[in-house]
């Protein structure tokens, strides 16, 4: 019996002990749970201190990125950076998706090789470089709805982008130049990480909307539009609330936070324009300048026109094609922080059909009266023309008002022998009128005989092209070609005013003219739709001036955008 009892106790002892396999599984499970919450920190605070001592203005953007954020190269604690991402069984690479692209936007895949153009739907893997051009923009979205919008002339590197087993998203970006707007979605429980590194700071958020800018001097501006942002510099942490901003010029001595300015309201904005819109901005206290933006969308992502203007400066939005737009504004304070954006103000531009160009003009006097003959080019998208002649410059009481001219000529008789002005516009097939031409003066003295060459005199064989003025401070780019595609260009000149004189072509045929406005910053708008004029070998007798003996001298008194 004693022997049986001893055997039974021995068996019970071994059964009660846990197996090595089950113990290992429990240990491994606990270890994975712990590791899953241990997120590799890519913070650069230590590097900032070294960076601020050595100075932040030297080296290329890539060199600065390595100096400032060298610790971000370490994917896991204790690992050694080898130039490639360190794989983790608890994290997978996180790809962004191109939600919007405009103009020039390129990517260098994983920081190597050629730059490729981006298109909507492209995937952006970690460690890729992004770059936008002069009029470029690109928006990258992630699976949680967070996004990063790159404005023009912007360079960004995706340093880190991971997804953990518990679905936490970890993203670190380096902004070396330009402007970005980040929208970060909040999540339940432990939130994801979203940080933007710059040469002088790190902006960290867990659910907010904010802007970050790095200027040519590599100084950083952070502006919070919603929620809160933490800005980490070499020596301190700055907590920014909604509606606050900070400028970090020296990481060791950052400027204190300050309130963002309100946006200026546009003054004189109309709902419909048939010429380039001209507005002014209401004054905002503390503003040094303003940013004016025109976008295709209400959110202001797809900008088609953008300017910084001084206080009190009138804004001419030239070079915009016909279509519907939204106007947005922001104030800029003395240290360069930009305020909250305004609401989106809708407006529409419809400049086409353009006013026709005047071909010939004749003036004759009989007794105490005079008659004026006007001829103009046919505009392809015009159904008819509207012509006015007036004694006053504002055309409040025109002596001739013909809105139903189907032909391309008109003779006004019975006018008194005194000064007049005339203007003309095209009317589209849907009865929508285009913009008026600039008024053109008809001189008071009129020769006693019919003479199309007497007003004005083109005996020197020159042609004068006069366009509608785009506004103060604009220059003009004029081209004349033998074909409507402008492959055989005869004249290509830039002039200070909306008028150019060129020698009349010797060969008969049809010639095409187009013009573009150039603003004060040197940016050239789109060329107008071509208009044409004809040079003929033989001329009607009434076009030949008595005693001139030179035939037809073409006068383009009016050519408009």
pLDDT grade, residue 454 (50/70/90)? very low
Structure tokens at 400: 């001739």
- In this prediction, residue 156 carries a pLDDT of 97
- In this prediction, residue 380 carries a pLDDT of 80
> On the CB side of 26, how many CA atoms lie within 13 Å of its CA?
5
Q: Is the pLDDT of residue 237 over 80?
A: yes
Read off the pTM.
0.73
- In this prediction, residue 281 carries a pLDDT of 97
Q: Looking at residues 402-410, what average pLDDT do you find? A: 92
Asked if residues 249 and 219 have their Cβ atoms less than 8 Å apart, the reply is yes
Look at 252-261, 313-322, 343-352, 525-534 and tell me which has the smallest mean pLDDT. 525-534
CATH superfamily of domain region 358-543: Immunoglobulins (2.60.40.10)
- In this prediction, residue 549 carries a pLDDT of 39
Interior CA angle at 184 toward 182 and 186, to 5°? 165
| Phi and psi, residue 426, nearest 5° | -95, 150
For the chain, the domains span: 45-259, 266-349, 358-543
What is the three-class DSSP state of 532? strand
Q: Looking at residues 117-144, what average pLDDT do you find? A: 95
Q: Which fold has domain 266-349?
A: Immunoglobulin-like (2.60.40)
pLDDT grade, residue 489 (50/70/90)? very high
Q: Look at strands 266-267 and 278-281 and give their pairing.
A: antiparallel
Asked if residues 242 and 226 have their Cβ atoms less than 8 Å apart, the reply is yes
pLDDT grade, residue 20 (50/70/90)? very low
Q: Looking at residues 229-238, what average pLDDT do you find? A: 91
Q: Looking at residues 241-254, what average pLDDT do you find? A: 91
Q: Looking at residues 105-125, what average pLDDT do you find? A: 94
Q: What is the rounded CA–CA span in Å between residue 11 and residue 377?
A: 112
Q: Is the pLDDT of residue 7 over 50?
A: yes
- In this prediction, residue 88 carries a pLDDT of 56
Return left, alpha or beta for 537; rule: phi > 0 is left, psi -120 to 50 is alpha, else beta: alpha
% residues pLDDT > 90 (the chain): 47
- In this prediction, residue 30 carries a pLDDT of 38
Structure tokens at 110: 């994983």
Asked if residues 355 and 560 have their Cβ atoms less than 8 Å apart, the reply is yes
Q: Is the pLDDT of residue 209 over 80?
A: yes
Q: Looking at residues 154-158, what average pLDDT do you find? A: 97
- In this prediction, residue 253 carries a pLDDT of 84
Cβ-count burial 204-217 (b if 16+ within 10 Å, e if not): bbbbbbbbbbbeee
Other residues' Cβ atoms within 10 Å of the Cβ of residue 522: 7
Q: Is the pLDDT of residue 139 over 50?
A: yes
- In this prediction, residue 517 carries a pLDDT of 87
- In this prediction, residue 359 carries a pLDDT of 67
- In this prediction, residue 251 carries a pLDDT of 84
Tell me how far the alpha carbon of residue 278 is from its chain's centroid: 18
pLDDT grade, residue 138 (50/70/90)? very high
- In this prediction, residue 54 carries a pLDDT of 41
What is the three-class DSSP state of 155? strand
Partners of 222 in the β-ladder: 212, 246
Q: What is the pLDDT of residues 93-113, one digit of tens each?
A: 999 999 999 999 999 998 888
- In this prediction, residue 291 carries a pLDDT of 97
Q: Is the pLDDT of residue 228 over 60?
A: yes
> According to the 3-state scheme, what is the secondary structure of 26-37?
HHHHHHHHHHHH
Tell me how far the alpha carbon of residue 29 is from its chain's centroid: 53
Q: Give 37's contacts (C-beta < 8 A, 6+ positions apart).
A: 166, 190
Q: Pick 425 or 64 by higher pLDDT.
A: 425
What is the three-class DSSP state of 20? helix
Tell me how far the alpha carbon of residue 297 is from its chain's centroid: 12
pLDDT grade, residue 494 (50/70/90)? very high
User: Which architecture does CATH list for 45-259?
Assistant: Sandwich (2.60)
Other residues' Cβ atoms within 10 Å of the Cβ of residue 500: 21
Q: Pick 509 or 266 by higher pLDDT.
A: 266
Q: What is the rounded CA–CA span in Å between residue 552 and residue 508?
A: 11
Q: What is the rounded CA–CA span in Å between residue 294 and residue 317?
A: 8
pLDDT grade, residue 191 (50/70/90)? low
Task: Give which of 107, 197, 98 is closest to 147, Cα–Cα.
Answer: 98
Partners of 62 in the β-ladder: none
Asked if residues 399 and 377 have their Cβ atoms less than 8 Å apart, the reply is no
Q: Looking at residues 229-234, what average pLDDT do you find? A: 92
Look at 241-245, 454-458, 501-505 and tell me which has the smallest mean pLDDT. 454-458
Q: Pick 327 or 463 by higher pLDDT.
A: 327
Look at 117-131, 420-434, 449-463 and tell me which has the smallest mean pLDDT. 449-463
DSSP string, 422-489: EEEEEE-TTS-B-PPPPPEEE-S---SS-BTTSSS--TT-EEEEE-----TT-EEEEEEESSTT-SSE
Please indicate whether the domains covering 266-349 and 358-543 agree at the CATH topology level: yes
pLDDT grade, residue 11 (50/70/90)? low
pLDDT grade, residue 89 (50/70/90)? low
- Using the 8-state DSSP alphabet, how is residue 109 labeled? G
Look at 62-76, 156-170, 328-342 and tell me which has the smallest mean pLDDT. 62-76
Asked if residues 164 and 144 have their Cβ atoms less than 8 Å apart, the reply is no
Q: ω before 353 within 30° of 0 (cis)?
A: yes
Q: Pick 360 or 403 by higher pLDDT.
A: 403
pLDDT grade, residue 45 (50/70/90)? very low
Q: Looking at residues 389-416, what average pLDDT do you find? A: 91
Task: State the sign of the Cα–Cα–Cα–Cα dihedral 389, 391, 395, 399.
Answer: negative
- Mean pLDDT over the full length of the chain: 79
Q: Is the pLDDT of residue 24 over 80?
A: no
């Amino acid at each position: 019996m004693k022997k049986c009892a001893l055997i039974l106790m021995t068996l019970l002892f071994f059964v009660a002990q846990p197996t090595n396999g089950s113990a290992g599984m429990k240990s491994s499970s606990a270890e994975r749970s712990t590791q899953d919450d241990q997120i590799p920190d890519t913070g650069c605070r230590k590097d900032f201190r070294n960076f601020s001592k050595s100075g932040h203005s030297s080296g290329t953007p890539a060199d600065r990125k390595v100096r400032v954020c060298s610790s971000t190269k370490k994917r896991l604690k204790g690992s050694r950076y080898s130039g490639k991402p360190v794989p983790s069984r608890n994290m997978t690479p996180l790809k962004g998706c191109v939600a919007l692209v405009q103009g020039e936007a390129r990517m260098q895949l994983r920081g190597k090789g050629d730059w490729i153009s981006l298109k909507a739907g492209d995937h952006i893997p970690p460690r890729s470089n992004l770059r936008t051009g002069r009029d470029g923009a690109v928006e990258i979205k992630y699976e949680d709805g967070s996004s990063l919008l790159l404005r023009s002339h912007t360079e960004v590197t995706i340093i880190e982008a991971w997804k953990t087993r518990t679905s936490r998203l970890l993203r670190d970006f380096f902004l070396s130049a330009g402007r970005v707007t980040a929208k970060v979605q909040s999540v339940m429980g432990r939130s994801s990480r979203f940080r933007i590194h710059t040469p002088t700071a790190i902006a960290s958020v867990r659910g907010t909307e904010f802007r970050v800018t790095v200027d040519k001097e590599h100084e950083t501006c952070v502006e919070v539009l919603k929620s809160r942002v933490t800005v980490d510099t070499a020596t301190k942490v700055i907590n920014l609330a909604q509606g606050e901003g900070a400028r970090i010029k020296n990481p060791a001595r950052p400027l204190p936070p300050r309130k963002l300015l309100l946006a200026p309201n546009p003054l004189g904005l109309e709902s419909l324009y048939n010429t380039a819109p001209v507005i002014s901005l209401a004054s905002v206290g503390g503003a040094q300048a303003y940013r004016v933006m025109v976008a295709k969308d209400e959110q202001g992502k797809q900008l088609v026109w953008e300017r910084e203007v001084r206080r009190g400066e009138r804004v001419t939005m030239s070079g915009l094609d016909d279509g519907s737009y939204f106007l947005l504004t922001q104030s800029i304070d003395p240290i360069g922080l930009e305020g909250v954006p305004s609401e989106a103000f809708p407006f529409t531009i419809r400049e086409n059909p353009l006013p026709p160009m005047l071909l010939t003009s004749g003036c004759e006097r009989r007794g105490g009266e005079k008659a004026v003959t006007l001829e103009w080019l046919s505009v392809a998208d015009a159904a008819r023309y509207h012509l006015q002649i007036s004694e006053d410059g504002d055309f409040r009481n025109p002596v001739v008002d013909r809105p139903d001219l189907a032909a391309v000529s008109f003779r006004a008789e019975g006018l008194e022998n005194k000064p007049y002005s005339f203007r003309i516009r095209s009317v589209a097939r849907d009865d929508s009128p285009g913009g008026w031409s600039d008024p053109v003066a008809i001189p008071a003295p009129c020769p006693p005989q019919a003479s199309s060459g007497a007003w004005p005199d083109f005996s020197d064989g020159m042609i004068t092209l006069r366009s509608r003025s785009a506004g103060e401070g604009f220059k003009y780019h004029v081209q004349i070609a033998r074909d409507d595609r402008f492959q055989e260009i005869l004249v290509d000149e830039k002039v200070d005013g909306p008028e150019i004189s060129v020698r009349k072509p010797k060969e008969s045929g049809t010639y095409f003219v187009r013009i573009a406005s150039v603003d004060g910053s040197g940016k050239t708008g789109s060329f107008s739709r071509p208009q044409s004029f004809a040079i003929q070998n033989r001329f009607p007798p009434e076009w030949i001036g008595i005693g001139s003996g030179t035939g037809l001298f073409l006068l383009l008194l009016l050519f408009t955008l």
